[in-house]
Chains A and B, each alone.
Chain A
């Protein structure tokens, strides 16, 4: 089944404790992206990757890092999480010249 898989689904952590949210897709998509969803603000892009070893900042990249060492994986790294990074995070992918985004099921992060 074609899908984007994020882990974990829920995560509670404390300020300053490094964490990684994993994202993997099985559709051989070139493009992958991370979004955060906050009430009243919609989906805002954090980082995106056009292909392996090619990443770029989205609209709200501060406090986040990403890497794209393999085509299928695009982890989101919070080196020193802060409470304002409490949010619902989505990974998405697309490929083949298609604009249609396939989203994961989301990761609800709470930073205390």
Chain B
């Protein structure tokens, strides 16, 4: 089955700087890669996603890139703000609505 590895497990950046979280997946048949943000005391929420026929997708300050050959995908957050502090999860979609999640990254934005 699919295996998703996420790095780093914790990330601390200064407000205004950029943050990058990286994931790798094992199953070349996976075709959909979402990113979820989990704020304290809440359930994860989808913030951006990318499909395997696209290399990059951007939504304001967040972007996701996908390298199918290397089976890597990354989340990029620019001009970080305090409200970006949260736990972020990557995931790979195996079909039949089965998402396999990474281990999570705790992002802290320092003022």
Asked if chains A and B come from one complex, the reply is: yes
Chain A interface (Cβ within 8 Å of chain B)?
Answer: 4, 31, 33, 35, 40-45, 48, 50, 58-59, 90, 92, 94, 99-101, 103-106
Apart from A42-B101, A103-B45, list 12 A-B contacts with CB within 8 A: A40-B9, A42-B89, A43-B104, A44-B101, A50-B97, A59-B1, A90-B44, A92-B43, A101-B34, A105-B41, A106-B41, A106-B43
Chain B interface (Cβ within 8 Å of chain A)?
Answer: 1, 4, 6, 9, 32, 34, 36, 41-46, 49, 89, 93, 96-104
How far apart sit A91 and B49, CA to CA, in the bound complex (Å)? Answer: 20
Residues of B within 8 A of A48 (CB): 97-98
Residues of B within 8 A of A40 (CB): 9, 103
Residue of B nearest to A108 (CB): B41
How far apart sit A31 and B103, CA to CA, in the bound complex (Å)? Answer: 23
Least distance between A101 CB and chain B CB atoms (Å): 7
Residues of B within 8 A of A100 (CB): 34, 46, 49
B97 touches A94 (CB 8 A): yes
Given contacts A99-B32, A100-B34, whether A43 and B101 have CB atoms under 8 Å apart is: yes
